[in-house]
Amino acid sequence: MQHSIQSLFFSTFAFVLGAAVGSFLNVCIYRWPADLSINRPRRSFCPQCKQPIPWHHNLPLISWLALGGRCAHCGAKISFRYFAVELVTAALFFAIWQRFPWQVAIAYWIFVSFLIIGTFIDFEHFIIPDRVTIGGTIAGVVCSVVVPALMQTNSRLAAGIRAGLAAALGYVILWIVLEAGKIAFGRKRIEFDAPVKRADAWLLDLGDVREAARVSLNGREVGHAWSLPFALRLPALRTKGNVLEIEVTNLPANRIRDLDLRKVDWKVMKEINLVDLRYKPFDASGWPVAPSGLLGPVRLVPLEVVRPR
Ligand SMILES: [Zn+2]
């Protein structure tokens, strides 16, 4: 009896702690990609009206339900994500607590927290910040040394070595995925430091693009370049480590040509069949291959504010 009450208490604690941690993870998910500080402002604020949220409207899980997913001040919809992250974190903290001894459970709590932040940032921005990947790797190695049981050993040294090797393996796998992804999705990712030369602003000139490009800088969308000139004005650059992402879509001419070359039956119309100008069955297999993707050259052009006299 004594035992079951105790275990019920700790399980409930794990769930409530998970919900509270989930609430903090929401802050990281919102602020990390935007490069905002985690502790300034200290108070959470409404993403719409920027009004600070009082603590009694910021209770994990409960407040979102009680306020019907809306800001109490301006009535703006608060994304379901806030509730989902708190619930997922609470459920995972609870499940981990049930399954593992407490030292291991605490290490896994840290681990899933990183995974949740990475997952939800990835959903929204298609990036996983270095704080998640590199921070998580460092945390993993440190946790393994502190809790060697994570690596199925009693020796801290052996645990540290195994964790280091595992981290290296993870790096190699990610590198392969990244390179394969570039080939498969036509998404270019470039890291660069701000030029030493001073400028009032910078223009990103993509040169020749077939046919449209979506550009993000440091996780934030800059805009779409969809006609000549393929150039966008960039927001302020960081001194070091800017991440530029360019996603290019093509007109589907090459795709249609390929389908027709392989005699794929894609022209399935309900009313009429696809024909060419002479009312003959449409066939793209004779088309030449069209230029496609980001042809460049990509340049950063310094801009200067001109003050008329
Ligand atoms: Zn609001």
Q: How far is the CA of 67 from the centre of ligand 1 (A)?
A: 12
Residues belonging to the chain? 309
Residue 202: φ, ψ to 5°: -125, 140
Under 8 Å CB-to-CB from 163, ≥6 apart: which residues? Answer: 140, 141, 144, 145, 150, 151
**pLDDT range class, residue 141, cuts 50, 70, 90:** very high
Q: How far is the CA of 82 from the centre of ligand 1 (A)?
A: 14
Q: How far is the CA of 176 from the centre of ligand 1 (A)?
A: 43
Q: How far is the CA of 231 from the centre of ligand 1 (A)?
A: 35
Q: How far is the CA of 18 from the centre of ligand 1 (A)?
A: 25
Q: How far is the CA of 114 from the centre of ligand 1 (A)?
A: 28
Contact 284, 260 (CB under 8 A): yes
For residue 175, pLDDT beyond 90: no
Q: How far is the CA of 223 from the centre of ligand 1 (A)?
A: 26
Q: What is the mean pLDDT of residues 168-186?
A: 80
Token readout for 292 is 């496609």
C-alpha distances in Å from residue 265, one per residue of 48, 100, 268, 269, 279: 49, 54, 7, 11, 18
Q: How far is the CA of 71 from the centre of ligand 1 (A)?
A: 5
Residue 152 has a pLDDT of: 86
Q: How many CB atoms lie within 10 A of CB 61?
A: 20
Q: How far is the CA of 42 from the centre of ligand 1 (A)?
A: 17
CA nearest to 233, candidates 203, 261, 191 = 203
CA nearest to 245, candidates 118, 124, 127 = 127
The domain ranges of the chain are: 2-128, 134-185, 188-267+278-303
| Residue 96 to residue 104: CA distance in whole angstroms | 9
Residue 271 has a pLDDT of: 67
Q: How far is the CA of 77 from the centre of ligand 1 (A)?
A: 8
Residue 230: φ, ψ to 5°: -75, 75
Q: How far is the CA of 76 from the centre of ligand 1 (A)?
A: 5
| Residue 42 to residue 82: CA distance in whole angstroms | 18
Who surrounds ion ligand 1 at CB < 5 A? 46, 48-49, 71, 73-74, 76
Q: What is the mean pLDDT of residues 224-238?
A: 90
3-state secondary structure of 190: strand
Residue 1 has a pLDDT of: 55
Q: For the chain, give the percent of residues with pLDDT over 90.
A: 43
Q: How far is the CA of 30 from the centre of ligand 1 (A)?
A: 15
Q: How many CB atoms lie within 10 A of CB 259?
A: 16
Q: How far is the CA of 23 from the centre of ligand 1 (A)?
A: 17
Q: How far is the CA of 52 from the centre of ligand 1 (A)?
A: 8
Residues 189-230 have pLDDT tens digits of: 788 888 888 888 899 999 999 889 999 998 889 999 999 899
**pLDDT range class, residue 169, cuts 50, 70, 90:** very high
Q: How far is the CA of 125 from the centre of ligand 1 (A)?
A: 23
Residues 4-63 have pLDDT tens digits of: 888 889 999 999 999 999 999 999 998 888 777 767 777 788 878 888 888 888 899 999
CA nearest to 129, candidates 139, 119, 140 = 119
3-state secondary structure of 75: coil
Instruction: Tell me the helix, strand and coil percentages in the chain, rounded to 5.
Output: 45, 15, 35
Contact 121, 29 (CB under 8 A): yes
Options 3.40.718.10, 3.30.160.100, 3.30.300.30, 2.60.120.260; CATH for 188-267+278-303 is 2.60.120.260
Q: Where are the extended beta strands (E) located within the chain?
A: 187-192, 201-205, 208-210, 212-217, 220-225, 231-234, 242-249, 293-296, 299-303
Q: How far is the CA of 40 from the centre of ligand 1 (A)?
A: 18
Angle of helix 2-31 relative to helix 102-125, nearest 10 degrees, comes to 30
pTM: 0.59
| Residue 247 to residue 224: CA distance in whole angstroms | 9
| Residue 46 to residue 26: CA distance in whole angstroms | 12
Residue 40 has a pLDDT of: 72
Q: What is the mean pLDDT of residues 126-139?
A: 88
Give the up-direction half-sphere exposure of residue 1: CA atoms within 13 A in the CB hemisphere: 0
Q: What single DSSP character describes residue 149? A: G
Residue 275 has a pLDDT of: 80
Of 93 and 154, more confident: 93
Residue 163 has a pLDDT of: 93
Residue 217 has a pLDDT of: 92
Residue 120 has a pLDDT of: 94
Contact 127, 121 (CB under 8 A): yes
Q: How far is the CA of 73 from the centre of ligand 1 (A)?
A: 5
